[in-house]
Amino acid sequence: MATASASSPLSKLQAQKQSVWIDFMSRAFVRQGELARLIEEDGLQGATSNPTIFEKAIGHSADYDDDTRRLVSEGADVDTIYQDLVVADIQGALDLFRPVYDRTDGLDGYVSLEVSPLLAHEREKTTEEAGHYWQRLDRPNAMIKIPGTPECVPAVEDSLAAGLNINVTLLFSVEAYEAVAQAYVRALKRRVDAGQPVDHIASVASFFVSRIDTEVDKRLDALIAKESDEGRKAQLESLKGKAAIANAKNAFAVYERIFSGPEWDALAARGARVQRLLWASVGTKNPSYPDTLYIDELIGPDTVSTMPPETYNAFRDHGRVVEQPTLTAAMADAQGIVAQLAEAGIGLNDVTDFLLKDGVEKFAQSFDDLYAAVRAKREQFAR
């Protein structure tokens, strides 16, 4: 397999043991050769999807019309049409990534499909739907996405214990990440206690990055606007664009603690792999920040960066990869930034609680919009 040249930012990133996945999915992307080209030429190692991505793919193109028309003629309802369309896309991508999965012995080559965000607060239904999609995809390199809400963390554990590969999404706070990582360890222990293997279980924890800065910067701007002391204004201004990276580094510190020591070593001796942190939402929202900021500053071993196409292309063109991992640099400063924000009146837990609620609502809205688009096409073709 050809890969990007050794001098390219993508190859340098992979040389530091950070995997490169793309946060995108569509029928044309899979079937018209673009995904295969990225795997062949860039060494792309995986892909993620979410309801917003599928809403844009299915709701705003004619690529799915032929299959939709066929399914309508067979009497399929809206839910059946949706599932058939997305499962076919994910299976096609999984097959393209299967050589990556085999070559890396199951480290990479995964594609994620998300359970309905409408179930984000329902453990049993989430567990049931995760199992349903796992059976339908029927590929060892599939990953089922489950939101990391407090109600669904048990669903994550149950699904992993049942042998599914799980991508835990919508993680914003360090505390939420720690709960998910501990659930992963518990799930592996359950399998060991039941005499089941753990060497084929894979999981990533999708920790969202840029949205943290978007919300914190907005709150800092509100404080700056009300502040009359110039020195204080400058101090608040200096904190902008710092929270997201600090939050991610604090999560990585938890990762290092959980996946080390005698308890983890006993599982690793049985072939268990760590649950890697996956940096999600790495596209820069603020145009005054470098467009590869959240990739450049979070490069570290045993992690994944999943990039939307625009950010992927930008990083391939001019990403910055230095010799030493940036993720583990100045780790102590990260806690200091969180403390300074708290002193200013911005509690990071309040920010992350808001973002989790907002993220679930936005994905649910995209899911509703997607179903509405499928319903409209179903009615159109039924006529």
Residues 109-135 as b/e (b if ≥16 CB within 10 A, e otherwise) read bbbbbbbbbbbbebbeebbbbbbebbe
- Residue 6 has a pLDDT of 66
| Residue 358, phi then psi, degrees to nearest 5 | -65, -40
Nearest to 177 by CA among 361, 352, 364: 352
Contacts of residue 173, Cβ cutoff 8 Å, sequence gap at least 6: 247, 348, 349, 352, 353, 356
52 C-beta neighbours (distance < 10 Å), count: 17
Looking at residue 80, its amino acid is T
- Residue 1 has a pLDDT of 39
How far is the C-alpha of 36 from the C-alpha of 41, rounded, in Å?
8
H-assigned helices in the chain: 9-15, 27-31, 34-42, 51-59, 65-73, 78-103, 123-137, 153-161, 174-193, 210-226, 230-237, 243-258, 262-268, 293-296, 309-318, 331-344, 348-382
The CA dihedral of 34, 37, 43, 48, to the nearest 10 degrees, is: 20
Give the fold, CATH level 3, of 9-382. Answer: TIM Barrel (3.20.20)
Nearest to 163 by CA among 182, 205, 135, 125: 135
| Residue 193, phi then psi, degrees to nearest 5 | -65, -30
CA contacts within 13 A on the Cβ side of 347: 4
Of 145, 242, 249, 377, the catalytic one is 145
Could you list the pLDDT tens digit for every one of the 383 residues in the chain? 345 566 789 999 999 999 999 999 999 999 999 999 999 999 999 999 998 999 989 988 899 999 999 999 999 999 999 999 999 999 999 999 999 999 999 999 999 999 999 999 999 999 999 999 999 999 999 999 999 999 999 999 999 999 999 999 999 999 999 999 999 999 999 999 999 999 999 999 999 999 999 999 999 999 999 999 999 999 999 999 999 999 999 999 999 999 999 999 999 999 999 999 999 999 999 999 999 999 999 999 999 999 999 999 999 999 999 989 999 999 999 999 999 999 999 999 999 999 999 999 999 999 999 999 999 999 999 88
CB 109 within 8 A of CB 102: yes
- Residue 346 has a pLDDT of 98
How far is the C-alpha of 344 from the C-alpha of 222, rounded, in Å?
11
Is residue 357 among the annotated active site residues? no
* Per-residue CA distances from 5 to 8, 44, 321 (Å): 5, 13, 14
The single-letter DSSP state of residue 144 is E
Instruction: Find the helix or strand (DSSP H, E) in which 282 lies.
Output: none
Q: Where are the domains of the chain?
A: 9-382
